[in-house]
Structure 1
C-alpha cells in the first residue's frame, strides 16, 4: 500500500470518527439548539432535570395567536441511547371545585407530594398542578365570570422524573404566568421546594382507626353491606396544610375510597367559587376554614350499581362526618 493510500485511509477514518461524534452529540444533547423554551421560561439545563439528556424539541408554538393570554407548551426529548421518547406537556387550564381530589385525572391524591411555603399545588413523578393565586383569577379570561380557576398542569409521558425536579418546573412556570398577567406572587424559583409526600408504602388499614385517625371507621354502607372490607391505605404525611388518604378495599378490582382535607386558603376559595358542595364540606378549625371531602373511583361506583345511588350518597355523607369528627379531634379544633 502506497503512502498516499495510507494517508487517504487515515484521513477518511478521522473524518468518519469526527462526523460520528458530531452526530452522537447532536442526537444526545441539545448542542447548537435553543437555550430556552416555553416563552423563555425554562432553560435547557432545567428541562434536562425533568426529561433527561437528549435532543429537545418544542412541539407547540411559543406564543399564542389570539389576544387572550394562554400558556401551552409541549416538549419532547429524543436520544439514540434510548428507544423511549419523553414528552412534557405544560398547560394553563381551567379547573373547578375539589379537582385535585375528586376527578379521574388526579386519582389517588395520597400519592402526590404537596408544595409547602409556595404556590398551592402538588407533584408526582409524572404530573403536577398549581392553582394560581386568587389575585390572578379575574386577570385571566378563562376564569372570569364563571366558576373555574386557572391552573398550571404538568404531564410527563414516556418516563419519570424526580418530584423535586417536577416541583421546580411547576413553580418556575407558575411564577412566569403570574408575572406575565400582573399578579406576581413572592415565591422563590431558585430555592429548593419543600414537599410533603405520602407514606413510604401502603399500610394495612386498622378498621377502627382508618387513615391513621383515631376512631375513624368506614360505615357499613361504604362497604356495600359486606361486599367490601378494609385492605390497605396510603396517606399524606403530617406537616402541611393539605392531606389525602386512599383506602384500597378488598372485594373488587382496584376499589378505592378517597378522603381529603385542606386548610389552604386557595383551595377553600376555589371550592367557594365553584358553588359545588357535593361530597364535600367546609368547616372551621382554629379560626381557619377547612375543606373536607370524600370520593370513590369508577370501579367502586360500578360495583355499587345504579340502583344504590341513594344508599351510596347517604353512606358517603355518614363517612364524611366520621372523617370530619376524627380529623378535627386530632387537630384539636374544638
Structure 2
C-alpha cells in the first residue's frame, strides 16, 4: 500500500524546491550578468566597474587583461539572457605624429564626433575615441620620435559606447596614468567639457554650418544630391563642421571645416601654413580639409561648389566676423 505524504508536508517540499530553483537562478544571474563576484577595479586600478558601466550601460560580468608593457588594457563584459549585450574595448597609449590630429586628409576629429575640449582634449563616439596626454608623458607611448604626441586611445571592438561616458572613462584612465608616471601637467584639474555632435541636418546655403555670414550658392551633388551638415564643439574652444551629400555614406564628408582656439589642439598648427587671427584675445586657427573626397576639379566645379581657395576665403571671412577677430 503506497505511503501517503500529508498535503501540508508536500506543500512545504514544493515551496522549498521553488526557493532552491529561484536561488540557483538568482545565483547564475549574479554570476553571469553582474559584477557581484567580479573585480571592481580594472586595468591595474585605473578604471572602476562603475566607469565602464557609465560608458557601456547594461548588465554583465566584467574582466580585464593587461599588456606586458603596462600601456594597454582590454576589458570585456560577458552576459547571457535577453536584454544583455557583450562588450569588448581596449585602451592603449600610442605615439602620434606632431601634426596630429590635423594631418591633411586624415583629420582625427570632426563634426561627426563629440568633442572634448579644455583641461584635456580629444573626441569620442560610439566606436571609440582618444584623449591627448601632456607632452611630458611621451615616454608612456614608447616612442623615440621627438615630435610625436602621446595619445590615450579607446577602441570599441564589440558593443557600442555612450560617448559622454566614454569621455569620462578616458579622463579617469588618463589621470591615473599621468599621476603614476608623474607627468601630469596640472594635478587636480578637471577633465575637459564634452561637447556633443549635432544631428545631421540639411544645409542652409544662406548660413552654412549655422555660421553667420557664411553663404554659398546652390550646390548639387554629382548624382543630384543635396548638401547636409553636422557640427560639433564650440566656437569658444574647438568647433567643427562636416559637409556631405545626402545618400553618400560610403564616401563621407566632402569638406571638413574647423575653428580651433583650444591650446592643446593648437600645438600641431603653430608652425604650419594655416590661416589664423587673434579672436577674443586668443590665437585662433581656421582650417579646411577636402577629406580626400574622390572627385576631380571638373566634377567639383560641376556641382556649383567653390574651389578650395574660394571656399577658404568665404569661410575665413565669415568666421573672423562672427568671432570679432582682429
- Equivalent-residue separation in structure 1 for 2:165 and 2:287 (angstroms): 29
The residue aligned with 2:43 is: 38
What SS is found at the alignment partner of 1:175? helix
Q: 2:220, 2:227 within 8 Å by CA — same for their partners in 1? A: no
Q: Does 1:181 align with 2:181?
A: yes
Q: 2:59, 2:84 within 8 Å by CA — same for their partners in 1? A: no
| Cα distance per residue 1:154-211 (max 9 Å; x no partner) | 233443343331221111011112112211143658x786322233x33322324322
**1:21 shift after superposition:** 1.7
Q: 1:228, 1:251 within 8 Å by CA — same for their partners in 2? A: no
Q: Does 1:294 align with 2:288?
A: yes
- Equivalent-residue separation in structure 1 for 2:79 and 2:240 (angstroms): 38
**1:130 shift after superposition:** 1.0
Q: 2:119, 2:191 within 8 Å by CA — same for their partners in 1? A: no
The residue aligned with 2:59 is: 53
Q: 2:229, 2:244 within 8 Å by CA — same for their partners in 1? A: yes
Q: 2:278, 2:325 within 8 Å by CA — same for their partners in 1? A: yes
Counting only pairs closer than 5 Å after superposition, residues 253-268 of structure 1 correspond to structure 2 as: 254-256=251-253, 257-268=255-266
Using structure 2 for the length normalisation, give the TM-score: 0.78
Higher helix residue share = 1
Q: 2:117, 2:238 within 8 Å by CA — same for their partners in 1? A: no
Displaced runs of 4+ in structure 1, greater than 4 A?
5-14, 100-107, 217-220, 226-230, 250-255, 305-308
The residue aligned with 2:123 is: 122
Structure with higher Rg: it is 2
Gaps of 5+ in 2: 301-305
The residue aligned with 1:71 is: 71
The residue aligned with 1:195 is: 194
Gaps of 5+ in 1: 309-313
For the structure 1 residues 187 and 129, does the alpha-carbon distance in structure 2 shift closer, same or farther, using more than 3 Å as the test? farther
